Structure 1
Amino acid sequence: MKTTNRHRLAIILLLAMIQLGACQNKRGGSDRTWFFAEPFPYLDRAKSFQISSYDTTGGNNDRINIHADSTVTIANIQGEGMITRMWFTIDSRDPHFLRHILLRIYWDDEAFPSVEVPIGDFFGSGFDYRHHLPRYVGMSSGGYYCYFPMPFKKGARIEIANETGEEVYAFYYQINYYALEKGTLPTDTDYFHAYWNRDIRTDYPENYVALEAEGDGFFVGLNFNGQPYNRSLFYLEGDEMIFVDGETRPSVYGTGLEDYFTSGWYFQDGEFSALYHGLTLLDTENGRVTAYRHHIPDAIPFKESISVTLEHGHGNKEAADFSTTVFWYQREPHAPFPVMKGPRQRTPLTRLIPNNAIPPSALKVKPPGKAQVEDVGHLGPDWLDNEQLVSKDDAFTLVLKDLEEAAYEVDIFMSQGPDFGTISILHQDKPLASFHGHADKLSPKGKIGLGTLNPDEEGKLEIRFEAEKGTSGKTGAGIDAFVLTPKREYVPEWYLIGPFPNPRLSDYQRFGLDSAYTPEKSTALDKTHVGIDGQPLKWFKVSDGKGGYDMGLWQYFDPYEFIIIYAHTYIYSPEEQSVKMFIGSDDGSKVFLNDQMIYRFLDVRIAAPDQDEVEVTLKKGWNKLLVKAENNFGGFAFYLRFSDPLNNLHYSADKKPPL
């Protein structure tokens, strides 16, 4: 049977509709399924062209040079058509050229680009070049490719902006497109869009926002880069939340970021590349993740608006560096994108300043005499959300006030640069460290440990900086942040007993924590109690001076999942005083002080120091402390300590008096 062109087109469209029913969205006679039809359904009304960087002289110099701080147009197509393929390969001396070179695309003579993305992020990795092979956009053995169909009615212009600060000596490209007969495309054609966003430090309670778009279209996915400040993957505990057409509750609500990328358990089996989802990079040492999820079979349509957001950790509790490239189609016009961040603000993190860092702008400065302290604004590229403090005089003192702990481990993060010399750091006239800060350009020097320091009785700590002129004749210091870590001393010894049952209906309906087992009523150490499966239980002593996962409750109990245990000890205070109790637990816990409940927490989490704090009053003499801890599944631990600014608390499970 002879197949006519009309029949062939009908068959192709039918196959496309079956393949991509999720993208089908007919309004006003338009059919969106043709976007991803293979082969392209309008071949009978199309002519194929390729624009490339070939050597027009007939030689083999098939590339272009892009001068520093310049923009070149590599394609300027007139008339109706569709781009079907883009391919690049690049030679740049800039180690961060993936973030410092921009790709821009304009449709139909628009004033603002519909695509504006750092070139590495567009093709799948902003950290470094990573071979990975998703179906529509990726990196393949030195090349960069994109097969997203990109229709246009009047024309298309593609620009490359070199913001590396130096010449790009070799930029190769090929752009494949169909020139179409006028009127081939629907009047309400959806145009391809891509937008890049970055929050260098997600230290806020709201979700990270990857995309806010208004109009009529459909979302087809994103590329993601994440890096924490504490080298932990806990930020993956966040969920994706996608709001469509003004929803107050998202119609897409996830279970974790690695789950969104169709993986699990913190990407437990490492990197992989699939057609529509993949893990391009997993750097467990630094917590870096690059991943992609392309919603082609499961595109998300919107009629009025879409908001694509990601939690940074459970409840947005993790500070991390998030960057995303989002891909979507919509009918023009689109709202202009925010102004693209500068190249320094796009550079990947090279210095990890922990979550609990204190910026110098939060500190009081005591300059001697006529010394002046200058605030030079954002340092970049690694600490853009806080200010750098620079002094170009001989000495100054930073004052940290209202400190509540008796001792702190103090670390300082500093920068080197052309204006900096040799700095000596002192506390109470005692030298702590020396810093040689001169360098040809402003750059991170890293962490300098100052050791354990004790605030005075008023909770004040003064750290003095003295500048010495070196051979360069420079003086001064560049200070990025302080990190004060309390010298945590956990309650050192306990009597433990368990396991008791932790019955449950679901993860959020567990009854053990609020079931008063016999040790809660009597802490007599010689008494035997009945635990899980009728096993006889007795108190036993643990005195290793450790806390949390160092103590590891799972090693003491069998079984250790879905159980309740008790921990009992005493605290001696020479006088009545108010102090703070700090606790972290995996999972829920209760705390009783002198037989009164002072704390209750019921949720699933991983224990960490000082997750919660409670103001408590210790009576003069011995105070009885009872902790009730429950485990759901997995890890099992708790951290518990008290602030002790006067250094006069004493702990003993057997009430042994202080020496």
Structure 2
Amino acid sequence: PRLVGTGFEDYIGEAWNLRLVSNLHAGVTIREPHAEDARHTCYRWHIQDPITFKKSLKVELERRSFITVKDPETGEAVRGDFKYRPDLCSSVAYWYQRTVATSTTPFPTVEERLPPEIWVVPRDMVASEMKDGKSPLKTSPGLNPINKNNKMGWVHFARRIFHAENDKVGAWFEVPFKVSAEGRYSISVFQILFREYGIWKLTLLGPDTEKVLAERLDFWNPYITRLEYTPEASIYGTNHEAKVGICDLKPGDYVFRFECIGSHPLSFNERTGTNGLGIGIDGISLRKLPWGDMHAWYKDYLVREKAHNEKQATEARRVVAELDKAIKAYKKDLGHYPEALEALLERPAELNMSSGTRIGHWPYFKGGRIPLDPWGQRYRYAAPGRYNPDSFDVWSVRGESRQLDRWIGNWDAAE
């Protein structure tokens, strides 16, 4: 089976957009806001409508939709509709079979399936974790971060977090890391939200770089007020991913600088009896995106798209001309038009019953099957036609069935 054109959201039970929803046979478990680094996870179970196969199964989804990029010179958004996107996609399939399934090709490694990712783990940099007792972390006077037991520490499944007791606005610490490959990175801070933590400003420092990633990164835990998170939210906190920006980074040494700028009004530190100013971090992720400057990519894409579309249109016109010729030959032999294009593939019974001197123009269309058009859709046929009411229409919708003026049909030749 294949899904061509718009409407992927319909396949998973949605319409005009994706929303967070979990139903019995379809749903969306991750749906991030529209952005260059947005991630989505969807599922669809064919329990009530199974797709059967005997030897192998190939499923295709067309990767076309709208795309928006920002012009770095003007800051304006440039939008393209129904474009081939550079999305990074992966899938998992489950099926039922009577025998044990065996693979003919080795399963790709994690490195082959996922984009490169840099993990910065501050808990592993505190003094107690270093062999020489010297931490690479820099801190303001009096700030002594530790590696603390906490089941919300998910990075590397260590169940430990970076934790810093803090009583002062203006306290700071710096976490060093290294970038070895130039590229465009999506940066996320995996916060530990807790009842006594404060608000921190995050700045990225490095080669030709000084960028504020978050003016106010609040580490107070709002989930302590919700019954379904009791008691873990109050005891351990909540692991929360905060996406803080996309940066073009060169190879070199960098620093994440955290600076305490205040506290949430409901944050409370029982030890001091005042608003909490501490912080907890599981880790910081830098995901290398599989593309560079999106605006430069889009300008190049438009050039390649034009050449690609012209090649597709040329091929569609060629097949439409062949089908037009075959239908006319069928009509000449039998005196009427075929009911469907598939009739061009079988020798008509009328020819078999005719005299031996009447061979006709069989075969009408060679190849054994009617091909799909270059956009992966079937060629359409109607007799009488809409554009050729006295004969027939045969056409390709050109992948855009809503835009009739872009269809490629045998009326072009007639006109």
TM-score grouping bracket, smaller chain normalisation: 0.3 to 0.5
Q: TM-score, normalised by structure 2?
A: 0.36
Kindly indicate which of the two structures has a greater share of residues assigned to helix: 2
Q: TM-score, normalised by structure 1?
A: 0.25
Task: Select the structure with the greater relative contact order (CA < 8 A; seq sep ≥ 6).
Answer: 2
Kindly indicate which of the two structures has a greater share of residues assigned to strand: 1
